[in-house]
Amino acid sequence: MEHSSDLLSPRRATRQIRIGSVPVGGGAPVSVQSMTTTKTADVEGTLAQIYALAAAGADIVRCTCNEEAAAEGLAQIVPRSPVPIVADIHFHHEMALAALEAGVQGLRLNPGNLRKEHEIKQVAAEARDRGVPIRIGVNAGSLHPDLFKRFGGATPEALVESARMELAYFEEVDFTDVKISVKASSVALMIAAYRLASETFEHPLHLGVTEAGPPPAGLLKGSAGIGTLLAEGIGDTIRYSLTADPVEEAKAGRQLLEVLGLRERKGLDLIACPSCGRAEVDVIAVANAAQAALDGRNLPIQVAIMGCVVNGPGEARGADLGIAAGRHRGHLFIKGQIVRVVPEDEMVEALVAEAEKLVAEGVEARLAAAEEGAAAEAEADRVALLEEKGADANRSSVKIERIRHRLEHEEG
């Protein structure tokens, strides 16, 4: 069976760099990044957030380094962090040098804010000697005024040119351990800029829609931009930029990679039908109850909640586990095969119990443990419901014959 990632455009070939223990580019898995919102000088508070981000799926975490106290905080944070730390630098090259002294595994420089050539080269040379990669982080909102004027605005060409100029400074001091981002708050501009960057550079690309705002709109913007590019094979590491708890960024990034098949499923993937007139239960309520009951159990499976038994098990046969409602009962199925029939008020409880057994014992063992007669009982429910309320909706062959007869009559 094909993996879903095999159906996407082939990944663009890039150089590989390493952010600490995490490879980026060169065929490595797409990594998830986020950024702390704490004051970096608050060592314990920042570490607590880093651990929460790592638990939510972040592979790399960025911390601001905007003052001496932040650099000193990084010196204590880096050795205790569960993931590599990137220092975020904007206006002062001294902070980049201090962050390197603190032992960070990566730097992010904004060429729109750090503009003096000799300072940029000094930081690049120091990073080269320490083996620390740098992200050239171009942002449409802080584009160099000269480039803004030259290109008539923050165009894709202007963003890519900003990165190219910075890269030229790096290359003058023989530093090529680089990844590049060309972010914008406009999804369309962001997509166009990254497409151009992918044609221009061989370095790995870090994807993101900057200043996307709070969920749900921020999630939609990030998913539209990042997901489009990943589907085209563009991108080596990603970050959602949400006005929210950064843990939500890490969760969203990990989930996006999982649904695209670019990372192995790490947590629960709950799918549910949108409900219709055939639904035998309140699908939204059951799905929410199942989500609440299963969240936090770290079960790397896909679970389906279906509102009726007419098409439910068949439509969700690709799910590891699911339940469909019918005639005041729940039909519990594994890979589309019915294994139990339970009372309606026990649906969620039965689903959770089976999910834990499925992860512990495996699919074959749980199929072998199916209750005798469950499949026949479920089929009887399905047939009865099909006759009651689903017959007309599912007798498409009859409708097709009527259509053909009508058209033949009209043509005659």
Q: How confident is the model at residue 256, as a pLDDT?
A: 96
Asked whether the predicted pLDDT for residue 386 surpasses 60, the reply is yes
Q: What confidence tier does 44 reach under pLDDT thresholds 50, 70, 90?
A: very high
Which tops the pLDDT comparison, 113 or 102? Answer: 102
H helix and E strand count, the chain:
16, 15
- pLDDT (0 to 100) of residue 4: 65
* Secondary structure letter of residue 35 according to DSSP: E
Q: Which fold has domain 4-259?
A: TIM Barrel (3.20.20)
Average pLDDT over residues 75-99: 94
204-234 as b/e: b if 16+ CB within 10 A: bbbbbbbbbbebeebbebbbbbbbbbbebeb
Q: When comparing pLDDT for 382 and 312, which is higher?
A: 382
Residues 8-26, mean pLDDT to the nearest whole number: 96
Average pLDDT taken over every residue of the chain: 89
- Token pair listed for 2: 């094909």
Sheet strands side by side (includes 134-139): 178-183, 134-139, 106-109, 85-89, 60-64, 31-35, 237-238, 206-207
Reported as a pLDDT band with limits 50, 70 and 90, residue 309 is low
68 and 101 Cβ atoms separated by less than 8 Å? no
Instruction: Output the pLDDT for position 275.
Output: 62
Q: Which residues contact 403 (CB under 8 A, 6 or more apart)?
A: none
Which pLDDT value is given to residue 355? 93
Q: What is the pLDDT of residues 256-286, one digit of tens each?
A: 999 999 998 877 888 887 766 556 677 788 8
> Is residue 144 over pLDDT 70?
yes
Residue in 331, 342, 337, 341 with CA at minimum distance from that of residue 364:
337
Give long-range contacts, CB 8 A cutoff, 24+ apart: 289-295. 289/348, 290/348, 290/351, 290/352, 293/348, 293/349, 293/351, 293/352, 294/268, 294/270, 294/351, 294/352, 294/355, 295/268
Looking at residue 393, its pLDDT comes to: 47
Q: Which pLDDT band, with edges at 50, 70 and 90, does 374 fall under? A: confident
% of residues, the chain, pLDDT over 90: 66
| pLDDT at residue 389, as a whole number | 56
Residue 13 pLDDT class (50, 70, 90 cuts): very high
What's the pLDDT score for residue 396? 57
| Domain residue limits, the chain | 4-259, 269-394
pLDDT at 391 over 50: no
SS in 3 state form for 203-249?
A: CCEEECECCCECCCHHHHHHHHHHHHHHHCCCCCEECCCECCCHHHH
> Cα–Cα distances in Å, from 266 out to 55, 193, 241, 254, 304?
11, 31, 22, 8, 17
Judged against a pLDDT cut of 60, whether residue 390 lies above it is answered with: no
- pLDDT score recorded for residue 1: 39
Average of per-residue pLDDT across 189-215? 97
Query: How many CB atoms lie under 10 A from the CB of residue 374?
Result: 18
Average pLDDT over residues 131-138: 97
Q: Which of 19-28, 87-96, 145-154, 388-397 has the lowest mean pLDDT?
A: 388-397
| Architecture of the domain whose range is 269-394 | 2-Layer Sandwich (3.30)
- Write the pLDDT tens digit of every residue in 116-127: 899 999 999 999
What is the model's pLDDT at position 205?
Answer: 98
